[in-house]
A and B are shown apart, each in its own frame.
Chain A
Amino acid sequence: QIPLKESGPPLVKPTQTLTLTCTFAGYSLSTTRLGVGWIRQPPGKALEWLALIYWDDDKRYSPSLKSRLTITKDTSKNQAVLTMTNMDPVDTATYYCALLDNTDAFDIWGQGTLVTVSS
């Protein structure tokens, strides 16, 4: 059983909205201090944090991308969803979701999903 798994379209067109879902098994986002974060990595480049959401629905966003991002959770489905508007080719990256542990570290990561932005 894979603890976390990202799902979403592998290809989006410029200006479209990307919706990614993180489904986790064996954990519940109703557990105190648990959280889920989204991180991306363009090909050959460094990791970039995007957003996170905690068990109590507290949400945080990267300041540089805040206007384009929305993160939500569905505790009953054990899912966290990230939407990113106005996609551009520079947003081409592998998108990861990760569980935040009680030390606030990204403790468990999904395998990542590659999203390509191209017309």
Chain B
Amino acid sequence: DIQMTQSPSSLSASVGDRVTITCRASQTIGSYLYWYQQKVGKAPKLLISTATTLQSGVPSRFSGSRSGTDFTLTISSLQPEDFATYYCQQSYSGRTFGQGTKVEIK
């Protein structure tokens, strides 16, 4: 099974901060990596597909990158509506989600 290790599990940040969340795969997954945002009581929302492709309608302050089996979600300037939990997910073999990163207000 492919394991996805997300870090940190939580972080506190202020509006306007640059935020980086990392996801490491236990083996190669190519670029079969997706990022989701989930707000309390809501279903997840797809932000980025295939590691770097921003979904239509998602603000450009969100971006994704890949370096080998390490993947990064960056929010360039945190906005109030960005406080949520973020999950990575691989689709190279089956499907696996990371443990989530909760972004809280500092």
Contacts and interface: CB of A to CB of B under 8 A. Distances in A.
Interface in B40-67: 43-46, 49-50, 53, 55
B87 A47 contact: yes
B32 A49 contact: no
A103 B95 contact: no
A67 B37 CA distance: 30
A46 to B, nearest CB: 5
Interface string A32-49: 000001010000001111
Contacts of B87: 46-47
A52 interface: yes
B100 A104 contact: no
A96 B44 CA distance: 9
A49 B100 contact: no
A107 B32 contact: no
Contact of B94 (A46, A49, A98): A49
A110 interface: yes
B89 A106 contact: yes
B83 interface: no
Contact of A103 (B43, B44, B50, B96): B50
Contact of B43 (A49, A61, A101, A109): A109
Question: Residue among B38, B87, B97 with the most chain A CB within 10 A?
Answer: B97
Given A47-B38, A60-B94, A106-B89, 16 more contacts: A39-B97, A46-B98, A47-B44, A47-B87, A47-B97, A49-B89, A63-B94, A98-B43, A103-B53, A105-B34, A105-B46, A105-B50, A106-B46, A107-B46, A107-B55, A110-B43
13 contacts: A46-B100, A47-B87, A47-B97, A49-B96, A49-B97, A52-B95, A60-B94, A62-B94, A103-B50, A104-B32, A104-B91, A106-B89, A109-B45
